[in-house]
Amino acid sequence: MSAQALVLDFGGVISRMLFETHELSEQALGLPPGTLTWKGPFDPATDPLWQAMQADQLSERDYWMTRTREVGRLLGEDWDRMETFVQRARGADVAAVIRPEAVSIIAAAKAAGKKLAILSNELDLFYGADFRSRLPLLQLFDVTVDATYTGILKPDPRAYAAVTEALGLPAHECVFVDDQKRNADGGVKAGMQVVHFDVLQPGASFAKARSLLGLAG
């Protein structure tokens, strides 16, 4: 039997990563082209800090706060909130950084009567409390569990339990998609059907999720 719910991380899965939009960020911030050289998973050799995060030497939040402070200093400003970086770098057109493949699978899942949930460690922390009202796509979701408010970060088992309980479904009926391996592994331990999202091949990752949900490709 096909899974009955699609549970998505936000940053990296629904939205393109900041690494993918350096050109847009530089334009929005008034920085010279090529200023932002760290590319995370797209070129790990350029980004020792990313490698350290992948080795569990620092958290994802710590990684992004370091980048936030660095970019703020480039502008002669003191940024102490990731929300400042995201909102300044991405401007008013939030839809421009949403993956079209994500829009497609969300619409298909909704049309098929599947439940939709977001399980994020930092949705409002990074994007701001008013973000959901500015992105109509998020109104399609039945459940949003955001550690900005719960304080329970993936891969803590309680994070996955919170979303399955809110959906009213057993874990094995939920397809969970996350780009961070530690979080994907947490979903496996929780009993979910898991897609470790490959940001280098988003189409293939969403195709796997579609298959688990019984949705046409």
Q: What is the mean pLDDT of the chain?
A: 95
6-31 pLDDT per residue, tens = 999 999 999 999 999 999 899 999 99
Low-confidence winner among 88-92, 99-103, 123-127, 188-192 (lowest mean pLDDT): 88-92
Secondary structure class of 117 (helix, strand, coil): strand
Mean pLDDT calculated for residue range 167-193: 98
Of the candidates 25, 27, 7, the one whose C-alpha atom is nearest the C-alpha of residue 141 is 7
Distances (CA, A) of 45 to 40, 42, 62, 103: 8, 9, 19, 31
As a whole number, mean pLDDT of residues 97-107 equals 97
pLDDT given at position 92: 65
Mean pLDDT of 46-55: 96
Residue 217 pLDDT greater than 80, yes or no: no
Share above pLDDT 90 across residues of the chain, in percent, rounded to a whole number = 87
Torsion of CA 72, 74, 76, 78, to 10 degrees: 20
pTM of the model: 0.93
Comparing 62-66, 92-96, 104-108, 182-186, the range with the smallest average pLDDT is: 92-96
pLDDT at residue 128 in the model: 84
Note the pLDDT tens digit of each residue in 53-93.
Answer: 999 999 989 999 999 999 999 999 999 999 899 989 987 67
pLDDT at site 62: 94
Angle between helices 202-213 and 100-111 in degrees, nearest 10 = 10
Q: Quick check: bond before 155 cis, omega within 30?
A: yes
In single-letter form, the type of residue at position 38 comes to W
